[in-house]
Amino acid sequence: DGPNAIVEGRITFTAPYEGAPGCVHGGFIASAFDEVLGVAQSASGQPGMTANLTVDYRSPTPILRELVFRGWCERVEGRKIFTRGTVHHGDTLCAESTGLFISMRPELFERLLALRETNR
């Protein structure tokens, strides 16, 4: 808990998530980072929305193997929340990510909640 918390998630991607033969498609890796870093940034106490997400692919990410995603909040500057994350298969670094989140003003959060209720 708290702004220095490390979020960890474990996942095994199956055949529908394959890109290159035997590897997880990079788009699914990016999506998983968005979720993990999104949870990590919420520990800042001023949760926000993704403004930028960068993924650096370091080695092939295997399907049908357990992967460990980790994410953390590096720093907060005003409304900007800077995050980092990694995904490993065993000791192998498969990808790294940085994310910039912008904390929402309370009035925007309330407006989004109202819009969600209207659309249900």
Residues 88-109 pLDDT 10s: 999 999 999 999 999 988 788 7
Q: What is the pLDDT of residue 112?
A: 84
Nearest-angstrom CA–CA distance, 83 and 27: 19
Nearest-angstrom CA–CA distance, 8 and 67: 10
Nearest-angstrom CA–CA distance, 14 and 22: 10
Catalytic residues: 34
Strand order across the beta sheet in which 80-89 lies:
6-12, 66-77, 80-89, 92-103, 48-57
CB 83 within 8 A of CB 53: no
Residues 5-21 pLDDT 10s: 899 999 999 999 999 99
Q: What is the pLDDT of residue 86?
A: 98
